[in-house]
Amino acid sequence: MSRAPGSSFGFIGLGAMGAGMAGCLLRRGYPLKVFAREARAVQALVDQGATAGTGPADVGRGSAIVFLSLPDDAAVHEVLFADGGLVHGLAAGSTVVDTSTIAAASARGFAAALAARGIGFLDAPVSGGQQGAAEGVLSCMVGGETASVDACREALGAFCKSVLHVGGVGAGQVVKACNQVAVAGALLGVADALALAEAEGVDPAPMREALLGGAARSFSLEKHAPRIAAGQFTPGFRAALMRKDLRLALQGAQATGTVLPTAALAERLLDELCEGGRADWDWAALALQVRALSGKALPEHREPRA
């Protein structure tokens, strides 16, 4: 790693979230080298002006900042440290910005290992979904050193409307876990309300409109309730990923002796949903499992309705 960090940027992981974030960077004029296992995902970004990298190390060479958007801790570790990983291409003084949702303990471990090589690390998980990523209006909760956060803030602003420094390395993941716990609780409440309205023979549309005008207003009531009522679960955020996120939150809570009853219920219902062949449905299908508790049959089909 003899080269000093350049003015170029890298992005690894071009799934539903990563592709949107990388596209925002390109539209804002950032020179970007990208890599993903799916050749089609890479080509889609190349068509927008990116350069294709041959692997993580290649993406790292000459990059001042490399963004990651990966499914779990193991994937982040592999991209960073495996043969051909980022550490074999990044120069001292560069920074890895990990937008993945992983365990806070993993983030701290990655940061320590990279720091030994003179490479910075920020855990910067995001919230706002696939649409928010594509439109550049995500919210980002960042853990890391202040100087590194300040150096990366402008680039993060290419795809985030809010970039909030919440503490040291790992704090971003803790706050993201808090976010997922809170939104899971909100969706459970909306699912309960819809189930009650249905049982009492009340049209869910005016019920929702009434609730939106009062204290029950929430993102879940605004965005998820209509698709639940319509049975439309084409994924914006897959049930399997929300289950993973809640498991991370529950593992962290267990380590501190903290009980999270609502999160535990949501995780159990999501697990039943996923094990029933609906892991790739949008996580709002959690509401189906709430209905099933009252003896309502689940849809027979296994593909989410568009």
Rounded CA separation 132/244 (Å): 20
DSSP character for 192? Answer: H
Q: What is the DSSP letter of 5?
A: P
**Coil, helix or strand for 257?**
coil
For residue 40, CA distances in Å to 21, 45, 57, 112 come to 16, 9, 20, 34
Q: For residues 71 and 15, is the Cβ–Cβ distance under 8 A?
A: yes
Q: Among 176, 223, 244, 296, which one carries the catalytic annotation?
A: 176
Residue with tokens 């949008």: 282
Q: Where on the phi/psi map is residue 304: left (φ > 0), alpha (ψ -120 to 50), or beta?
A: beta
Compute the distance between CA of residue 212 and CA of residue 207 in angstroms, rounded to an integer. 9
* Element at 265 (helix H, strand E): helix 261-273
Q: With the CA atoms of 147, 148, 153 and 155 taken in that order, what torsion angle do they form, in degrees rounded to the nearest 10? A: 140
Amino acid at 252: G
Instruction: Give the sign of the dihedral formed by CA 114, CA 159, CA 252, CA 236.
Output: negative
Residue 176 annotated to the active site = yes
Report how far residue 87's alpha carbon sits from residue 272's, in angstroms, rounded to the nearest whole number. 39
Contact 236, 131 (CB under 8 A): yes
Active site members: 176
